[in-house]
């Protein structure tokens, strides 16, 4: 005799539980929709709030050189999660891959009048050549004397309104900043950061396998700023010049180091609110200005 299997309808408790779980999952990222459409913000504000994720696709196309883009319209929840990434132009063949990258970007919450908002802005994914490193691997040395540690970032002037400044972080936490042009902090400032920040910055160089990079990633072009990072300790020194480097195979970790130094040790982190500072829109020639790298 065959047994008859009867599918029983879910109980009311089960239905309610599933409804609550579904509602929570939806509301976690769609909070704010009831307040109307997302607020349009600038690309620069979006950049300041960006926390993690890659904006690059390394092309596997033979002979690929230069840069192409997929332009995107991004919508972000009150929590900083990407709700949607819609292609609006660019390399159509890579739309799907670009959207997949953008969907995992993370942002700190955008706010208006102190309250988190549902935000929308324009962004992009860049298509660049494969990353290039020296064939012979040079390992990152162990830091023995932290007092000898010195990390620097210089962003140069350009033929536009590029921020032009120098940032130096020492192993004991001291920081020196020199703002030359197109910056909010004009002139020379001295401050400090905790040891764990110094450790985090040093770790970023280490994780990037920094000594196993080329010294120069310099595109044959003009009008752009030069970014230079360096680290020295125990008598060892390494620097990397980035002049539109991503377009010729510079590993993305170099750009990440540049951004991490700004975010963790820039003057906005340690300058006291009561300390007066001025915006700088003209070169301050009284300071020791580093020369622009060609």
The model's pLDDT over 60-112, given as tens digits with 9 standing for 90+, comes to 777 677 788 999 999 999 999 999 999 999 999 999 999 999 999 999 999 99
Distance, CA of 215 to CA of 51 (rounded, Å):
27
Look at 4-18, 194-208, 230-244 and tell me which has the smallest mean pLDDT. Answer: 4-18
pLDDT of 152 over the 70 cut: yes
Distance, CA of 122 to CA of 109 (rounded, Å):
16
List, as one string, the DSSP characters of 25-92.
HHHHHHTTGGG-SPEE--HHHHHHHEEE---EEE--STT--S-EEEEEEEEE-TTSBEEEEEEEEE-G
For 229-242, b where at least 16 C-beta lie within 10 A, e where not — what string?
A: bbbebeeeebebbb
The helix (H) or strand (E) run that includes residue 115 is: strand 115-116
The model's pLDDT over 101-126, given as tens digits with 9 standing for 90+, comes to 999 999 999 999 999 999 999 999 99
Interval 175-190 mean pLDDT: 94
pLDDT of 183 over the 60 cut: yes
Residue 44's pLDDT band (cuts 50, 70, 90): confident
Q: Is 145 helix (H, G, I), strand (E, B) or coil?
A: coil
pLDDT of 196 over the 60 cut: yes
The model's pLDDT over 254-263, given as tens digits with 9 standing for 90+, comes to 999 999 999 9
**Fold topology of 37-128:** TolA/TonB C-terminal domain (3.30.2420)
Where do you find CATH 3.30.1560.10 in the chain?
A: 146-270
CA-based angle 232:235:236, to the nearest 5? 50
Class of domain 146-270: alpha beta
Predicted TM-score (pTM) of the model is 0.72
pLDDT of 32 over the 60 cut: no
Where do you find CATH 3.30.2420 in the chain?
A: 37-128
């Amino acid at each position: 005799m065959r047994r008859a299997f009867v599918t029983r309808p879910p109980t009311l408790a089960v239905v309610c539980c599933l409804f609550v779980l579904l509602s929570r999952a939806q509301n976690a990222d769609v909070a704010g929709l009831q307040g109307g459409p997302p607020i349009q913000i600038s690309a620069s504000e979006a950049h300041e709030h960006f926390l993690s994720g890659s904006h690059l696709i390394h092309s596997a196309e033979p002979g690929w050189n230069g840069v192409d883009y997929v332009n995107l319209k991004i919508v972000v929840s009150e929590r900083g999660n990407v709700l949607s990434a819609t292609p609006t132009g660019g390399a159509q063949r890579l739309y799907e891959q670009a959207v997949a990258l953008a969907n995992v970007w993370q942002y700190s919450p955008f706010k208006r009048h102190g309250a988190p908002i549902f935000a929308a802005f324009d962004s992009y994914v860049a298509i660049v050549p494969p990353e290039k490193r020296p064939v012979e691997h040079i390992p990152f040395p162990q830091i023995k004397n932290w007092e000898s540690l010195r990390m620097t970032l210089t962003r140069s002037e350009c033929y536009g309104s590029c921020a032009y400044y120098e940032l130096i972080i020492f192993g004991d936490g001291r920081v020196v900043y020199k703002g030359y042009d197109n910056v909010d902090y004009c002139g020379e400032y001295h401050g400090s950061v905790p040891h764990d920040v110094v450790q985090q910055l040093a770790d970023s160089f280490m994780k990037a396998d920094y000594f196993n990079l080329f010294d120069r990633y310099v595109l044959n072009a003009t009008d752009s700023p030069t970014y230079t990072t360096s680290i020295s300790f125990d008598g060892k020194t390494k620097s990397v010049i980035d002049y539109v480097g991503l377009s010729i195979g510079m590993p993305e970790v170099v750009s990440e180091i540049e951004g991490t130094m700004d975010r963790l040790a820039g003057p906005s982190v340690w300058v006291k609110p009561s300390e007066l500072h001025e915006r700088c829109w003209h070169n301050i020639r009284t300071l020791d200005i580093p020369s622009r790298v060609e």
